């Protein structure tokens, strides 16, 4: 069985001793979980259902976006689950499953449960084509999904005038006791004649950002994770900090930064507002133009 690894042989492995240390640390921290990311008051549900030509993106929550490109409806890491392990979802999804248009394409960044939720996939409208990392297709087939194509890093496929590229990330994956890193992980780039969108997936900061910037020299929008980074001694290999996410954005030379992977599930010790506050402070520190940072409310759409 093939085992996948990161660039530069970086591992995310943590021992049981490390896990116990984190648990002891966590008990000493008091975090305010009453302040959460707000819902948009002006959701464009009917407009999204009718849109066949304009480019749009809508934040559902966590790493889930509805992206409309070239008349094609794309979902990234669709997860509407109300719980993640023992933790309840902190915020309602920005759009209900019932309000989605028919989905044409689903991309999965990796197999962790907060990015791949089969009960959600079962409820999607339409008959989507699934693009997944190498090693995940067999699981989809066992679950009854046949329209599945798996890609390795740097591989591409064309669909409806969109080039879809699978690019590296620094992470790991596991869904059971016996399948550690038996499938890959990565990000997805959607490229048309007019624009390029980069969904980073789940990642630590790594040298791959520079490699991606060399291959894709004009990225319009980056959907970048900023949460689940604390404690950094434990999380850093797999989850990028807000400060390093800004560093990566600068290296990518992209035009817009859309933060994600914060405020929906309690996966680490940081809270959504903490992640956002650190991002805003670093943005100011680096003196980046305010209009390049697109912080979305849940269910907010940019057209």
Does residue 9 fall inside a structural domain? Answer: no
**pLDDT band, residue 4 (cuts 50/70/90):** very high
Mean of the per-residue pLDDT values of the chain: 96
Measured over the CA atoms of residue 34, residue 35, residue 41 and residue 42, the dihedral's sign is negative
Does residue 1 fall inside a structural domain? Answer: no
CB 6 within 8 A of CB 236: no
How many separate domains does the chain show?
Answer: 1
CATH, residue 148: 3.60.15.10
- Give Cβ neighbours of residue 303 (< 8 Å, ≥ 6 apart): 44, 47, 51, 54, 55, 56
Does residue 283 fall inside a structural domain? Answer: yes
Element (H, E) at 69: strand 64-69
Residues of the chain with pLDDT > 70: what percent?
100
Does residue 7 fall inside a structural domain? Answer: no
3-class SS at 299? coil
256-260 and 156-159 beta bridge pairing: unpaired
Distance CA 119, CA 136 (A): 16
Chain segment 90-101, per-residue pLDDT in tens? 999 999 999 999
Range in 32-41, 139-148, 196-205 the model is least confident about: 32-41
Does residue 212 fall inside a structural domain? Answer: yes
For residue 284, count CB atoms less than 10 angstroms from its CB and return exposed for 0-12, middle for 13-18, buried for 19 or more.
exposed
Does residue 228 fall inside a structural domain? Answer: yes
Domain, as residue range, for 185: 40-302
Chain segment 250-281, per-residue pLDDT in tens? 999 999 999 999 999 999 999 999 999 999 99
pTM of the model: 0.97
Torsion of CA 23, 26, 28, 30, to 10 degrees: -150
């Amino acid at each position: 069985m093939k085992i996948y690894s990161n660039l530069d042989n970086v591992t995310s492995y943590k021992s049981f001793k490390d896990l116990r240390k984190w648990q002891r640390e966590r008990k000493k921290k008091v975090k305010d979980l009453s302040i959460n990311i707000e819902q948009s008051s002006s959701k464009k549900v009917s407009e999204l259902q009718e849109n066949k030509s304009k480019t749009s993106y809508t934040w559902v929550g966590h790493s889930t976006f509805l992206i409309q490109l070239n008349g094609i409806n794309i979902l990234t890491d669709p997860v509407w689950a109300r719980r993640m392990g023992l933790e309840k979802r902190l915020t309602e999804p920005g759009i209900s499953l019932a309000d989605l248009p028919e989905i044409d394409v689903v991309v999965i960044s990796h197999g962790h449960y907060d990015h791949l939720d089969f009960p959600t996939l079962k409820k999607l409208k339409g008959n989507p084509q699934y693009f997944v990392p190498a090693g995940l297709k067999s699981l989809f087939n066992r679950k009854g999904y046949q329209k599945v194509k798996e890609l390795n890093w740097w591989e591409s496929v064309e669909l409806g005038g969109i080039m879809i590229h699978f690019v590296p990330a620094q992470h790991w994956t596991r869904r059971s006791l016996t399948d550690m890193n038996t499938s890959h992980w990565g990000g997805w780039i959607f490229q048309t004649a007019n624009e390029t969108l980069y969904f980073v997936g789940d990642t630590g900061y790594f040298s791959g950002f520079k490699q991606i910037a060399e291959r894709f020299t004009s990225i319009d929008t980056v959907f970048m994770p900023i949460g689940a980074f604390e404690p950094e001694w434990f999380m850093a290999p797999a989850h990028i900090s807000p400060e390093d996410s800004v560093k990566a954005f600068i290296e990518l030379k992209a035009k817009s930064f859309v933060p994600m992977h914060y405020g929906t599930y309690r996966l680490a010790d940081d809270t959504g507002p903490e992640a956002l506050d650190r991002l805003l402070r670093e943005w100011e520190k680096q003196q980046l133009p305010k209009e390049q940072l697109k912080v979305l409310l849940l269910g907010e759409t940019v057209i």
